[in-house]
Amino acid sequence: MRVAALTVSGVVALLTGAAAAEDLTDTSTEKGSLGVGIIIGEPTGISAKLYLEDDTAIQAALGATFVSGGFQVHADYVLHPWILEQREAFTLPAYVGAGVRAMQHGAGRDGDSDFRIGPRVVAGLLFDVKEIPLDVFVEVAGIAEYRFGSDDPDINGFGLALNGGLGARYYF
């Protein structure tokens, strides 16, 4: 749990510091480079995204995993290589990327808990509203994880997992 808290603190500090530095150098955009909002799914919690350029960003989320039963933090470097639709009111880009996920898995009162960490590959669609600094997204991620810390030897070791979520972020 402490590892997850330290990871989240580091990601938030990195995102906040980079956003402040970018705000000083880039005054040409109406929409800010740092978005904060919610994600619903696996995990359900807080989501953030920091644009490094128009087509690259770092995104992260922190929240509860209700299907798996635990607490998760992840961060991804994403590219926006395709714009599927561009209208006067919105833009619809697709994004792909890679990152890392850490999860404290709790199996309930009588179950065994463990810690999981591993790389993740993410793909999604972003509905970017032009009139207000808001985006809505849907994404899916595949994870190759290593599980450890369980008393059950069948749980420890490598495994695969899937995350999916729907969310919205407001940009500053």
Reported for 96-99, long-range contacts at CB under 8 A and 24+ positions apart, including other chains, are 96/121, 96/122, 96/123, 97/59, 97/121, 97/122, 97/123, 98/122, 99/59, 99/74, 99/75
Q: Specify the fold of 2-171.
A: Porin (2.40.160)
Instruction: Give the pLDDT band of residue 31 (cuts 50, 70, 90).
Output: confident
Highest-scoring range by mean pLDDT, 2-16, 26-40, 46-60: 46-60
- Tens digit of each residue's pLDDT (9 = 90 or more) over 123-161: 999 999 999 999 999 999 999 999 998 877 777 899 999
- The average pLDDT across 86-90 equals 94
Instruction: Give the pLDDT band of residue 26 (cuts 50, 70, 90).
Output: very low
Residue (of 125, 111, 109, 116) closest to 162 by Cα position? 116
Tell me, what's the pLDDT at 25?
38
Asked whether 136 and 168 are in contact (CB, 8 A), the reply is: yes
Q: How many CB atoms lie within 10 A of CB 42?
A: 22
- Tens digit of each residue's pLDDT (9 = 90 or more) over 36-84: 999 999 999 999 999 999 999 999 999 999 887 899 999 999 999 999 9
Tell me, what's the pLDDT at 151?
78
pLDDT of 24 > 70? The answer is no
Residue (of 25, 86, 73) closest to 53 by Cα position? 25
Q: How many CB atoms lie within 10 A of CB 50?
A: 23
pTM: 0.79
Tell me, what's the pLDDT at 19?
45
| Extents of the domains making up the chain | 2-171
pLDDT of 16 > 70? The answer is no
Tell me, what's the pLDDT at 109?
59
Classify 2 as helix, strand or coil: helix
